[in-house]
Amino acid sequence: GMGWALLGVGLLLALYTLLRHGLRRVPLPCARPELRGRTAIVTGGSGGIGAATALELARCGARVVLATRSAARGEAAARRIRTETGNPEVRFMHLDLASLRSVRAFASTFLRQEPHLHLLINNAGVNGGGTTEDGFSLPFQVNHLGHFLLTQLLLERLQSCGPSRVVIVASSAHCAGRLHLDTLGQPPPGLLSTFQDYCDSKLANVLHARELATRLQGTRVTCYAVHPGFVNTELFRHVPPWLKPLFLPLAWLFFSDAAEGARTSLHCATHEDLERFSGRYFANCHLQEPWPPARDDRLARALWEASERLVGLGEPPGSPSP
């Protein structure tokens, strides 16, 4: 009895180890691009994939701005990255994407203090529920609307510093997204409201990159949407407590770590000759076709116009509507 039980446990452990190491492809070391003299913003840069992305950009010599909500975590991350890379050009700037007022304040401070911008990595994300001070659902505002406004406010600077790039961290969860333009930014109904909201925001991310590329044709700014892989980071703080015991072994087995999760963002930020793929979707450092709704140009344009209206861009107040 006991012997068989031990053998069974041993076999399970062996299988687990094999799976864990076999499923996690070891990233090939690739040549570091030279980014000295280039400035990057990484939103949500104080932890998870954002911090891993910022660390690698700093290693390549870029000046990196960690645009994140918590000053304590942001300053600590900036210090850690400066120490680890020996690159002194890493700084924290306060940005709370759940507040459009904060997005505007960040953009005006950045434009006043920083002469250049070459890379904008729209990385921050949440998957919890709630409503923002602007009256929008938290995941939709943080993941899409706040980043949409931020990108628009920084676009002129990106254009004057071209060639430059915008990387939008989306997710394969966009496959379950549904956008209802008349109720955009309101939490969807139903039991899985928060999950649906997250998926909707990720569909919005892929469509944002698509429409942005269309509007940037003929400029020296290109943009890319990326799926970072299933990454075991703070994003899963919001998993309900009763699900955590189920979730953690799975996460450990299948989810990549943050450094691996940052690879596709870095690929799209720095890889040469990606300009012709502007507006497209990447996963695992490769071009991928997103789900059909994410390729719908009419939806992309309608989302853009609705987003402009919601964040207060576009038509100046009091102008006659067409």
Question: Which CATH number belongs to the domain containing residue 86 in this structure?
Answer: 3.40.50.720
Question: For the chain, what is the domain count?
Answer: 1
pLDDT digits (tens, 9 = 90+) for 26-81: 454 456 889 999 999 999 999 889 999 999 999 999 999 999 999 999 999 999 99
Query: Within a domain: residue 21?
Result: no
Residue with the larger pLDDT of the pair 5 and 216: 216
| Calpha distance 86→105 (Å, rounded) | 30
What pLDDT was estimated at residue 319?
Answer: 56
- Determine phi and psi for 226, rounding to 5 degrees: -130, 145
In 3D space, the residue among 159, 173, 61, 46 whose CA is nearest the CA of residue 111 turns out to be 159
Query: Within a domain: residue 11?
Result: no
Q: How far is CA 22 from CA 3, 14, 18, 80, in A?
A: 28, 12, 6, 31
- Determine phi and psi for 91, rounding to 5 degrees: -135, 155
| Calpha distance 248→257 (Å, rounded) | 13
What pLDDT was estimated at residue 59?
Answer: 96
In sign, the C-alpha dihedral spanning 284, 289, 295, 301 is positive
> Exactly one of 16, 198, 224, 281 is catalytic; which is it?
198
Res 13 pLDDT > 80? no
132 residue type, one letter: T
Query: Within a domain: residue 109?
Result: yes
Residue with the larger pLDDT of the pair 178 and 19: 178
Query: Within a domain: residue 116?
Result: yes
What pLDDT was estimated at residue 137?
Answer: 96
Are 137 and 185 a contacting pair, CB within 8 Å? yes
Residue range(s) defining the domain that contains residue 93: 34-311
What is the percent of the chain where pLDDT is above 70? 79
Res 234 pLDDT > 50? no
Indicate the Cα dihedral angle 247, 248, 253, 255, nearest 10°: 80
pTM for this one?
0.84
What is the percent of the chain where pLDDT is above 90? 68
Res 16 pLDDT > 50? yes
Res 321 pLDDT > 70? no
Query: Within a domain: residue 54?
Result: yes
**198 counts as catalytic:** yes
Average pLDDT, the chain: 87
Query: Within a domain: residue 319?
Result: no
Query: Within a domain: residue 19?
Result: no
Query: Within a domain: residue 297?
Result: yes
